[in-house]
Amino acid sequence: MENSMKDLNQLLLNFNYNQNFNYDDFFVSKSNYFAFELIEKWPYWEKNILNIYGEKFSGKSHLANIFYKKNKGKKISENQLNDEIFKELRLHENIILDDFNNKTNERLLYSLFNLVDNNNKYLLINSLNPINEMNFNLDDLKSRSKNCLFAKIENPDDELMFAIILKSFSDRQIAIDKKLIDFIIKRIDRSYGKISDFIYKIDELSLRKKKPIDFKTIKEILKV
């Protein structure tokens, strides 16, 4: 039984569905409007560094991809930030640091800020928490991290929850009755992580039982 569950989990991880991070696939609501508006306003930002923060699965990487496709630049992850990459970063007007969790060398991050400031570049940083509340040890970095634009993606409202669930099923090429989605959003926590967990469980259950998604399946997962 344990091995079969491992195989199922691996299959789910490798499940090949088209996760679209395109402009037209991003649903704008009150929860994410401010962050989306700032992406749209580039290069007319009040400051050269924008920090979009919010819960995991809240759409930060989707916004980063929209920004990247629209304005080009260099997109890097935190573990790619090293001394060698600065030569390449100097060639780009826009730099995107996606999924920042404060695990990098503080000297490198401060150097990145200086590169942006001294060369009139733009930096988009995505993180779970605002960077001005992170426990940096370098005093200069603490000070500099406060002088940024900040946009929080709030917990999803009903419209956004509906859109996320519908898109998640659509990405997986799974048809679902909209009445089922209404049923779900009235009973699920208002959290991007909880929505993601729910979709994963739907995948798992439908794959294991090889049955269509119906009220019975939904109730089984929601335990109602």
pLDDT tens digits, one per residue of 82-129 = 999 999 999 999 999 999 999 999 999 999 999 999 999 999 999 999
CATH topology of domain 156-222: Helicase, Ruva Protein; domain 3 (1.10.8)
Of the options 3.40.50.11290, 3.40.50.300, 1.10.260.40, 3.20.20.30, the CATH number for the domain spanning 24-153: 3.40.50.300
Mean pLDDT of the chain: 89
Sequence ranges of the domains in the chain: 24-153, 156-222
Instruction: Name every residue whose Cβ is closer than 8 Å to that of residue 10 and which is 6 or more positions away in sequence.
Output: none
* pLDDT one-digit tens code per residue, 190-215: 999 999 999 988 888 777 767 678 88
CB neighbour burial string for 44-72, b if at least 16 within 10 angstroms, e if fewer? eeeebbbbbbbbebbbbbbbbbbbbeeee
What's residue 20's pLDDT?
A: 62
Q: Is the pLDDT of residue 1 over 50?
A: no
Work out whether strand 74-77 and strand 122-127 pair parallel, antiparallel, or are unpaired.
unpaired
